[in-house]
Amino acid sequence: MKDVAVVGVGCVGFRPVTPELSYKELMFEAAMRAYEDAGVNPRKDIDAFITCAEDYWEGFSIFDEFVPDQLGAVLKHLFTVSADGLFGLITAYMLIKTGHFDIVAVEAHSKASDILTYEGIVNFAFDPIFNRPLGGHPYYVAGMEMNRYLCETGTTLEQCAMVAVKNKRNALANPHACYGANITVKDVLCSECQFYPLKKLEISPLSDGCIVTVLASEDVATKLTDKPVWIRGVGWCTETPCLETRDWGRAVYTELAAEMAYKTAGIKNPVKEIDFAEVCDMFAYKELQHLEALKLCRRGEAGNLVEEGVTQRDGELPVNPSGGMLGMGYALEASGLQRVLEAVLQLRGEAGKRQLPEVETGVVQTWRGIPTATGAVVVLSK
């Protein structure tokens, strides 16, 4: 079967607010950039379009109906994947693998600043009978998970804080990141304790933006670009939604998604074969938990990696050179494509000031956020 490559990326944002643009205008700009990057005309060349959106984030039903115009998809084949953008990318990969599609565009965006009741929307994802009546801010789930993770692995509060320090510093070198900062571990630990043991500076703030990626089949990709980024493996997994019975210490959903992705990619030893990782760090501890689930270190070891500087941009295993979500902001369903964007730029050698030397293969991972236990993993190579 033929391979699939990412041949174009386009990005607008990410910024805390975008009051001057409608979501349509945001998407149009990202799409235009992506199609220019890929050298394709959406009206002629693109066979199918995927938008990744959750109606409840958008504030209206059947959101994909509002999408064709700004993606160049009028009277073409379009549908929604109601999940993070990485699931859209995986769906596009599968479409192309069928042999019926040569070029597929995937869009994901965030207009989080349009949501006035963010907590209310997140609460709506909780079990209405068992959990919702308890009330409270939904992020207490992250506090409980972090607590159990620290308890099981011996990871320290300082090590979690180091993730925030690293990622916010990385973000300073990324023009797409709006939450870059030069802060210290002390700053993080002394920031407001919001969901014990989680501190304010360890929580990704919301951001607005849009990313469009263009995928193509092997033959088409090699004609379109000298720098295709190949999708070597994909995987995804969902644990039980039940907050009472899920595994709180481990990101089992990512362990199994990674297993699937590595298997399809033919990766036997991820530590040796993966050069860098872009993972979900919606909360600082999640980066550590996800690194372990990705088998990039042993369980309980991720904290040591960040402490020893291994995951720094100039370390042996750079993690979130983009600044991650702590640096780029939590962009709802666009979060996974933030990770893809960075991996593509790094593999093409187009990451500017934050370019990693000699990278061949990267892994990107996403999590669908509170209160889900769903993740996806994609392996990308030059």
Partner 1 sequence: MSEKIKEYPGHRIKTADLRAGLVPLIRYKPEAKFAFSAGAAMSRFLEELKNGRILASVCKKCGRIMVPPRTFCEICFKPVDDYTYVKDTGKINTYSVSFIAADASRVKEPTIVAVIELDGASPGMGILHKIGEIDWKEVKFGMRVKAVWKPPEQREGAITDIKYFKPLKEGEE
The CA-atom distances, in angstroms, between 310 and each of 109, 267, 297, 319, 353 are: 31, 21, 11, 9, 19
CB of 241 to partner 1, least distance (A): 17
Under the binding rule (CB under 8 A), the answer on residue 56 touching partner 1 is: yes
Binds partner 1 (CB under 8 A): choice among 10, 42, 327, 329: 42
User: By rule CB under 8 A, what string of x and - marks binding of each residue 223-262 to partner 1?
Assistant: ----------------------------------------
Binds partner 1 (CB under 8 A): choice among 1, 19, 135, 182: 19
Under the binding rule (CB under 8 A), the answer on residue 50 touching partner 1 is: no
Q: From edge to edge, which strands make up the β-sheet containing 4-15?
A: 77-81, 48-52, 103-111, 208-217, 4-15, 229-238, 374-381, 361-367, 276-278
Sequence-distant (6+) residues with CB within 8 A of 225 are 5, 7, 8, 38, 39
Q: How far apart are CA 204 and CA 137, in angstroms?
A: 15
Burial 263-274 (b: 16+ CB within 10 A, else e): ebbebeebeebb
CB of 123 to partner 1, least distance (A): 7
Q: Which stretch binds partner 1 (CB under 8 A): 16-24, 173-181, 184-192, 292-300?
A: 16-24
The CA-atom distances, in angstroms, between 325 and each of 36, 39, 94, 183, 265 are: 26, 29, 27, 16, 26
Residue 294 near residue 258 (C-beta atoms within 8 A): yes
CB of 77 to partner 1, least distance (A): 16
Q: How far apart are CA 319 and CA 101, in angstroms?
A: 33
CB of 20 to partner 1, least distance (A): 7
Question: Phi-psi region for residue 9, left (φ > 0), alpha (ψ -120 to 50) or beta?
Answer: beta
CB of 21 to partner 1, least distance (A): 5
Give bridge partners of residue 378 from the DSSP assignment. Answer: 234, 364
CB of 243 to partner 1, least distance (A): 16
CB of 111 to partner 1, least distance (A): 7
Amino acid at 69: D
Residues in binding contact with partner 1, number by CB under 8 A:
36
Where in 97-136 is the site for partner 1 (CB under 8 A)? 111, 113-117, 119-121, 123-124, 128-129, 132-133
Q: Which is nearer to partner 1, 132 or 148 (CB)?
A: 132
Question: Quick one: which of 78, 342, 91, 106 has its CA closest to 229?
Answer: 342
CB of 47 to partner 1, least distance (A): 15
Q: Which is nearer to partner 1, 35 or 179 (CB)?
A: 35
Under the binding rule (CB under 8 A), the answer on residue 372 touching partner 1 is: no
Sequence-distant (6+) residues with CB within 8 A of 56 are 121, 124
Binds partner 1 (CB under 8 A): choice among 2, 39, 65, 69: 69
Sequence-distant (6+) residues with CB within 8 A of 22 are none
Question: Quick one: which of 358, 158, 335, 375 has its CA closest to 250?
Answer: 375
Binds partner 1 (CB under 8 A): choice among 2, 39, 74, 156: 74
Q: Which is nearer to partner 1, 69 or 219 (CB)?
A: 69
Q: Which is nearer to partner 1, 71 or 343 (CB)?
A: 71
CB of 268 to partner 1, least distance (A): 44
In the 8-state DSSP scheme, what is residue 110? Answer: E
Q: Which is nearer to partner 1, 70 or 91 (CB)?
A: 70
- Where along the sequence are the contacts to partner 1 (CB under 8 A)? 18-25, 28, 32, 35, 41-43, 56, 59, 68-70, 72, 74, 111, 113-117, 119-121, 123-124, 128-129, 132-133
